[in-house]
Amino acid sequence: MTNTIDPRSLSLDELRSLRNKLQAEDDVVSYVRRVAQARVDLVRAEQHRRERGERSEDLSSELRVVLSSHLTSGAPRPPRPVEDLGDNELSNELDRICAENGFSRLDDLTPDELNTLERELTAYERRVSDDRRERFDRLDALSAELVRRYRDGEASVDGLLGS
């Protein structure tokens, strides 16, 4: 996401359109990021379960806690629903990392395999978080320009009602 456009150079329609496009992209990135965070937490829960010498059935209850904390609440801006991730590059990459590193069989992984999975998922989540932060900065800049135009009278609130 290095393509930076000066929001002041855009028409009002272009500004709104780009902001809407980035918001839709952010919805997907945000959702995939939360899924990645949940998977990292599950891997770490498995690592901690092993360190404590607990039974593998204890991970099932951890699953409920982890998923509810990442996907339903606790965030200043809960994720908006995402229609379809079936052909999404980010989602596919996350699935590939999990498949290649044995996420579906956490309790069967060796400690080294579990550590590798945790490193891969953490690196992926960091990359997605950085992308999201950059996208969010662009969204903020676009929104600030919209606000400035309305505040300074360059755009009319009446125009919003007709859009």
Of all residues in the chain, what percent carry a pLDDT higher than 90?
44
Query: What pLDDT shows up at residue 93?
Result: 95
**Which of the two residues, 41 and 152, has the higher pLDDT score?**
41
Distance separating alpha carbons of residues 127 and 107, to the nearest angstrom: 27
Mean pLDDT of the chain: 82
- CB-based contacts of 159, cutoff 8 Å, min separation 6: 12
Of all residues in the chain, what percent carry a pLDDT higher than 70?
75
**Which of the two residues, 128 and 52, has the higher pLDDT score?**
128
Is-contact 23 139, C-beta < 8 A?
yes
- Burial (CB count <10 Å: 0-12, 13-18, 19+), residue 10: middle
pLDDT in tens, 120-156: 999 999 999 999 999 889 999 999 998 888 888 877 7
| pTM of the model as a whole | 0.75
Query: What pLDDT shows up at residue 130?
Result: 94
